[in-house]
Chains A and B, each alone.
Chain A
Amino acid sequence: MIDLLRCQDVQHRYGALTVLRGVRLTVSAGDRHALIGPNGAGKSTLLKLIAGEERPSAGTVHYRGRDVTRDPVHRRARAGIGRSFQHSTLLGSLTAAQNVALALTGGRLLARHTDRRHRAEVAEALAPVGLTDLADVPAAALSYSQCRRLEIAVALAAKPQLLLLDEPAAGMSGEERGGLVELLRSVPPTVTIVFVEHDLDVVFDVATRVSVLHLGTVLHSGTPEQVRRSPEVQQAYLGGRMEEVHGEAGGA
């Protein structure tokens, strides 16, 4: 079976600063693959390389068995790679519904996003994130947490095969995180998810695979259980935080 996504020896430099030094990452179809690691480990950069916003200094990115290393963002988007942004870049002057509609119509300039079929699809996309009542409010007028939820609705509305989420839970309250976990779990297995997340509860509730990035390399990659037990991971990154997760997992 061909892996959905394969990053091979990916390196990336910003000027003199080397952010990624030879990352190997394999993601199979249906995985919920979490990227964790301390700040500056290169997680967001890796997402950008997969989405095509940056080109790697060396190495290749294969998607569905094809080398997409040089493909521009819009072409990868049309091939089914969708993404959410860490710092919200919602279309502020457009309504929540229009933000979703533009994702639904997937890059076609002349697509009609006002007809009834699209309205129904927009409503379907907004309901699970609880934004039905705010459909006609400009995104700029939404609260931070509403923006985060709209961000996810937009990402899912594009019907990606590979969904890249950059810190989906950032700034969410505990209750909202619960909702997010539920939402991500309800995503059909036809959608593969690669996500960067700092909140380990969300990571271990959602992920089927976890890769730990540290100083621009993949320190460890495996099932959540393997990662939890890896001594080098605990030493390098998780530290005392690990005990908490262990405790919770044991208690549940």
Chain B
Amino acid sequence: MTSLAQTRAAPARPRLGVGARTATGIAAGTLLLAAAPLYLAPYATTTLTRILVFGLLAASLNLLVGVVGLPSLGHAAFFGVGAYAAAWTAIHGLAGAGALLVGVVVAALVALVAGAVAVRASGVFFLMLTLAIGELTQQAADSWESVTGGSNGLYGVPAPTLFGTVLDQPATTYWYVLGFFVVGMLALRLVSTSAPGVVLRGIRDSEDRMRALGYRTTAIKLGALVFAGAVAGLAGGLLAAQQRLVTPADVGFETSALALLAVVIGGTGSWWGPCLGAALVIVVRDSLGATLDGHGPLALGLLFVLVVYLLPTGIARIRLRRAAS
């Protein structure tokens, strides 16, 4: 028995080695994050929750920006649609995972419709189309009062419940968000590091060549956009569960721009880098911004300029560069 198991395991070992190291890293990171509420104050825990939500949004945007090469200025549209759909569902009696699922599906559908138009363009044209899609979505959130609550937003979103427990404490909300954050991040990692990820990078490098090799690049790009939109919708659903309130600002340009900022700061080269960028953006905007007498955006601008000049490949590269040398 043992010898059979050994012979079967032996050839796979070199590949398992790399996989095992990544898996250990992911498990360690998850454990560290899971333990955070035990040593953090409730306010810090809430900030960390916000970072997870925004990090998932930034990481889903990075699938478009960093992997497929589609810079989007309207990614908050899918985030916001997911948030509204989940909040509406929760208010109408289905809180928790069911609301998240509705958020994901509705965001994916909106991404499908928006993407059918947008993926035919590229470069600046794609940027402009996504900007328009984001603005349209925000307008809809503002004016479709019977569903979205207009400029007041949707408030009084019930806290999610899990196994009969209402998750309304900072720590319980955090763990709830963390659970789905991990699911979303693993899904993004699966797509960007596996075989389809190589195809997506190929399209980024040369769409002409990929077409000449037989790839239906327009359809594949649309698929990537729908997937990224769905994950953004998941992040939106988590936002609704945490913030218990969704407003048109969550759909708008500022959220999209901050997500893109997080991607640039964190670096487009890795699937987790944008989360670091998101953490910096949230900390500077929410915590540091409050002490700067409302000059948070200024601090963000300075941070952006510094990172672009000093670390053009993003802060996630610092560690990698050191490890390589």
Binding site for B on A (CB under 8 A): 51, 53, 72-74, 77-78, 82-83, 85, 89-94, 98, 101-103, 106-107, 109-114, 154, 158
| Beta-carbon nearest neighbor of B11 in chain A | A116
CA distance A74 to B213 in the complex (A): 7
Question: In the complex, how many angstroms separate the beta carbon of A249 from the nearest chain B beta carbon?
Answer: 35
A74 touches B211 (CB 8 A): yes
A93 touches B215 (CB 8 A): no
CA distance A224 to B182 in the complex (A): 65
CA distance A78 to B214 in the complex (A): 5
Which one of B198, B206, B208, B211 has the greatest number of beta carbons of chain A within 10 Å? Answer: B198
| Beta-carbon nearest neighbor of A111 in chain B | B195
**B189 on interface, CB distance cutoff 8 Å:** no
Q: Which residues on the A side are within 8 Å of B211 (C-beta)?
A: 72-74, 77
The 6 closest A-B pairs by CB, nearest first: A107-B214, A77-B214, A91-B205, A89-B206, A73-B211, A78-B214
Q: How does the 8 Å CB contact mask read for B205-220 relative to A, with 1 for contact and 0 for none?
A: 1101111111111001
- The SS class assigned to the A binding surface is loop
Q: Which residues on the B side are within 8 Å of A51 (C-beta)?
A: 212
CA distance A53 to B211 in the complex (A): 9
Question: In the complex, how many angstroms separate the beta carbon of B170 from the nearest chain A beta carbon?
Answer: 41
B205 touches A93 (CB 8 A): yes
Q: Which residues on the B side are within 8 Å of A74 (C-beta)?
A: 211, 214-217
Q: Which residues on the B side are within 8 Å of A93 (C-beta)?
A: 201, 204-205
A102 touches B208 (CB 8 A): no
| Beta-carbon nearest neighbor of B199 in chain A | A109
A102 touches B217 (CB 8 A): no
CA distance A51 to B211 in the complex (A): 10
Known interface pairs A82-B212, A107-B213, A109-B215; A114-B205 also in contact (CB < 8 Å): no
Binding site for A on B (CB under 8 A): 195-196, 198-199, 201-202, 204-206, 208-217, 220, 223
| Beta-carbon nearest neighbor of B206 in chain A | A89
B215 touches A107 (CB 8 A): yes
B212 touches A102 (CB 8 A): no
| Beta-carbon nearest neighbor of B200 in chain A | A109
Known interface pairs A94-B198, A113-B195; A158-B205 also in contact (CB < 8 Å): no
Q: Which residues on the A side are within 8 Å of B212 (C-beta)?
A: 51, 53, 73, 77, 82-83, 85
Q: Which residues on the A side are within 8 Å of B209 (C-beta)?
A: 85, 89-91
CA distance A21 to B198 in the complex (A): 41
CA distance A49 to B240 in the complex (A): 52
A-B contact pairs, 10 of them (CB 8 A): A51-B212, A82-B213, A85-B212, A89-B209, A94-B201, A102-B202, A102-B210, A107-B213, A109-B215, A112-B195
Known interface pairs A74-B215, A74-B216, A102-B213; A89-B208 also in contact (CB < 8 Å): yes
Question: In the complex, how many angstroms separate the beta carbon of B174 from the nearest chain A beta carbon?
Answer: 35
B198 touches A98 (CB 8 A): yes
B198 touches A102 (CB 8 A): yes
Question: In the complex, how many angstroms separate the beta carbon of A97 from the nearest chain B beta carbon?
Answer: 10
Q: Which residues on the A side are within 8 Å of B215 (C-beta)?
A: 74, 102, 107, 109
A91 touches B201 (CB 8 A): yes
A106 touches B196 (CB 8 A): no
Q: Which residues on the A side are within 8 Å of B202 (C-beta)?
A: 91, 94, 98, 102
CA distance A22 to B205 in the complex (A): 35
CA distance A206 to B178 in the complex (A): 63
Question: In the complex, how many angstroms separate the beta carbon of B267 from the nearest chain A beta carbon?
Answer: 14
Q: Which residues on the B side are within 8 Å of A112 (C-beta)?
A: 195
Q: Which residues on the B side are within 8 Å of A77 (C-beta)?
A: 211-214
Question: In the complex, how many angstroms separate the beta carbon of B248 from the nearest chain A beta carbon?
Answer: 36
Known interface pairs A74-B217, A77-B212, A106-B214; A101-B198 also in contact (CB < 8 Å): yes
CA distance A246 to B196 in the complex (A): 52
Q: Which residues on the B side are within 8 Å of A113 (C-beta)?
A: 195, 198
